[in-house]
Homo-oligomer: A and B are copies of this chain.
Amino acid sequence: MKKLGHTVDVLKQKLYDKEYKLTPQRRVVLEVFANNPEKHLSAEDVYDKVRETYPEIGLATVYRTLDLFAELDILQKMDFGDGRARYEFSESEVHHHHHLICLKCGSVTEFEDDLLEALEAVIEKKNHFEIINHELKFYGYCNKCR
């Protein structure tokens, strides 16, 4: 589990910087991610988990909060091609991690990678393209399903 106190402080600061407010709903959404650090949660997942402690929240609020957190670079929005967005803590500065997506059971596993940096430089030069972020996904069959 993440050190929640520190995480809340970071949120508070980032909200304050842009004149946003710290509401209980936002705090609870943050807690959900702190308590589920290695999961890739969809809006619906977050909604269900938030309602365990804050039953009166609306789904629209969850969507708005997720958007806000992505804008503040607290969360990273991802897309695994199954028609719903997923979110996880944004730690892009630390190290890149990518995803193994099982075509049978849909499970998503992470793996580490620092090998892409070299390729990135080549691509930038060759294509005159300024790279901000990259995303690498492998589709196939996980250990259980192969």
**In the complex, per-residue mask of A107-146: 1 if CB is within 8 Å of any chain B CB, else 0:** 0010101010001100100111111111111111111001
What's the tally of chain A residues with a CB closer than 8 Å to chain B? 31
- Check A100 for interface membership: any CB of B closer than 8 A: yes
Q: Which residues of B contact A120 (CB under 8 A)?
A: 138
Across the interface, do A134 and B139 meet the contact criterion of CB distance under 8 Å? yes
The CA of A102 and the CA of B123, in the complex, are separated in Å by 14
Across the interface, do A127 and B141 meet the contact criterion of CB distance under 8 Å? no
Q: Which residues of B contact A140 (CB under 8 A)?
A: 129-133
Across the interface, do B135 and A136 meet the contact criterion of CB distance under 8 Å? yes
Across the interface, do A129 and B143 meet the contact criterion of CB distance under 8 Å? yes
Q: Which residues of B contact A130 (CB under 8 A)?
A: 140-141, 146
The CA of A111 and the CA of B140, in the complex, are separated in Å by 23
Contact for A127 among B109, B132, B136, CB less than 8 A: B109
- Check A103 for interface membership: any CB of B closer than 8 A: yes
Across the interface, do B143 and A139 meet the contact criterion of CB distance under 8 Å? no
Q: Which residues of B contact A109 (CB under 8 A)?
A: 127, 129
A binding-site residues for B, Cβ under 8 Å? 79, 81, 100, 102-103, 109, 111, 113, 115, 119-120, 123, 126-143, 146
